[in-house]
Structure 1
C-alpha cells in the first residue's frame, strides 16, 4: 500500500516537471490568448506592420500614369498627381493593416517570417489594428474625393469604393478571396491597371497606349511581390488552410511564375522604347530584379525571401522611374 502511494507521488512529480519543461500552448486566435511578453509596442513595430517594403508598389503606378499623361502634352497636373499618390499609398498601408488584423484573428500569422504582426503577436488589441487600417482607408477616400471634385469625374466614386471593398475582402470577411488563390488578380487589377490608368485619366481624360502598357507592367511587378511573400509563407499557409495561388500550384511553379512576372515588364519596355527611346534605360532595373530571381530559385530559408520581396519592390520603383523619365523627356 505504501509502495503504491510512493509510486503515485513519484509519477505526479515527473508529470509536474514535464509540464514545466513543456512550452505553453495558446489559441491561434490572438484575441483569445494572453498578451505575450515581448515588451511594449514601439513606433518601429507599427512601421514594420505598415510593411514599407511594399510601398514602392503604390508609388510605381502613379509615376507611370503621370508620365503617360505628361507625354501627351506640356501641362503637368502636379496637384492631381500628388493626390493620386496619396490615394495609392494610403490604400496600400490600409491593406497591410487590415491584412494584419484579418490574418491575425484567423490564426494565420502565428508563425510568420518577416515584419512584426501586431495582431498575431498579441501585443496590440485586434480592434486597434483594424481601426488603424480603416483610418488609412478613410484617408485614401478623402484624397480620392478631392480628385473627383476637382475633375468632376463623379463616376470614379464607384471605382474608389470598389478599391476599398476589394482591399478589405482580400483577407477580410467570411470568404476572403485571398484565401482562394485570387490575390494576384486583386493586385494586378487594382495596383496595376486601376492605379496607373486612373492616374492618367484624371489628368488628361484619355488613356494612351503607353499608359496601358505601363499599367500591365506595374501589375506584373505587384503580382511578383505577392508571389515572393506567399512563397515565404507557403508551409504556414498550408497548415492554416490559406489556399493562396502559391499553395495551389506549389513551389516550383511559383518560382517559374515569379520569374515571368519580373521579366515580362522588361519585354514591354522594349515596345515602349519604340516610341520613347529613353525607355531602354528601364533595363537597368534588372540590377535589382535579377538578384531577386536568383534568391527565389536558390533560397534555403524562408527569411531570405524577405530580401527578394524588397528587391522586387525596388525593381518596380526603378522601372517606373525610368518610364517616367522616358515619357517626360
Structure 2
C-alpha cells in the first residue's frame, strides 16, 4: 500500500495525464518520417518515446518543485488544467522526491540524446541543448518574459521534439517535418496560454509576467485565435506546397471546436469556474489535432 501511494504521488508530480501530449505530438512526427522513408526503425522510435517522456516529466517535476518553493502553490486557484497537481502542498515531505524525479528524468533525456548523436549524427545535439535550457529556465526565468513564455512550449514540443524525431528516424531535417513542427508549435503554445488564465492573480503575486498577466483574459483569447490560425494554416500551407498529402487536412476538422472555445472564454467574464469547461475542450483539441494530422499523413 505504501509503495502504491508513493507511485501515485510520483505520477501526480510528473503530471501523468498531461504526458499524453508527448505521445500525441510524436505520432505525426513518426507518420511523416514513415512517409518520407517508407520505414520506421522501432528501436529508435521506442527510445524517442522514452526520451521525450523523460523531457516532459523533467519540466513538470521541476515546475512542481519550484512552484512549491516559491509559495505559489499556496495561493493558486487550482483547476484540473492549471495550478499544479497539489501534491506538495498536501505532502511537503515529498519535496525531495520531486527534485530527484527531475534529476533522474533529465539525466535519462541527456543519455538518450547522447546515444542519438552517436548513432544518427551530431545534428540532434543543438536541439537537445536548447530543449534542456528551456526545461531548466522555464519556471524561474521564462515565465517572467512574455514573448519567451508564449513561444517556448511550442519550441520545445514542436520545433525541437517533432524535428528531432524526424531527424533521428530519417537522418535529416525535411521540410515536411518542419510543416508538422510548426503546426504543433502553435497548438502547444495555445494550450499553455489558456491554461495560464486561471492563474493570473497568483502568478502576478510571485512576479510572473506572461501575456495573461499583462493583458488579461480578452486579449489573451485573441492571441489564442491567432495561434489556432497559425496551427491550421501550417497544415494548409504544407498541403499546398506538396509537403504533406491532402488527407492531412483532416486536422482541420477540429477548427469549429476552437471557435466554440473562443466564444465560451469570451463569455466567461474572467470567472474561473466558467472557464474550466472551455479549458477541457482545448486540451482535447490540442491532443486530437496532431493525431488527426498523423492519420491524414498515413492515409496519404
With structure 1 as the length reference, what TM-score do the two structures score? 0.77
More helix by percentage: 2
Match of 1:119 in 2: 88
Contact 2:37 2:170 in 1 (8 A): no
Which sections of structure 2, spanning at least 5 residues, go unmatched? none
Tell me the SS of whatever aligns to 2:63.
helix
> Is 1:321 equivalent to 2:286 in the alignment?
no
Match of 1:178 in 2: 143
Q: CA deviation at 1:91?
A: 0.9
Q: CA deviation at 1:291?
A: 4.3
Indicate which of 264, 272, 292 corresponds to 2:230: 264
Q: CA RMSD in A?
A: 2.5
Indicate which of 21, 33, 36 corresponds to 1:69: 33
Q: CA deviation at 1:290?
A: 4.0
Q: How does 1:6-21 map to 2 (within 5 A)?
A: none
CA distance in 1, matches of 2:207, 2:257: 33
Match of 1:278 in 2: 247
Q: CA deviation at 1:155?
A: 4.7
CA distance in 2, matches of 1:292, 1:206: 37
Contact 2:187 2:227 in 1 (8 A): yes
Tell me the SS of whatever aligns to 1:283.
helix
Indicate which of 72, 86, 91 corresponds to 1:108: 72
Indicate which of 90, 108, 117 corresponds to 1:148: 117
Contact 1:180 1:244 in 2 (8 A): yes
CA distance in 1, matches of 2:10, 2:97: 11
CA 1:311–1:46 in 2, change beyond 3 Å: closer, same or farther?
Answer: farther
Contact 2:185 2:231 in 1 (8 A): no
Indicate which of 55, 65, 73 corresponds to 1:91: 55
Tell me the SS of whatever aligns to 1:250.
helix
Number of aligned residue pairs? 286
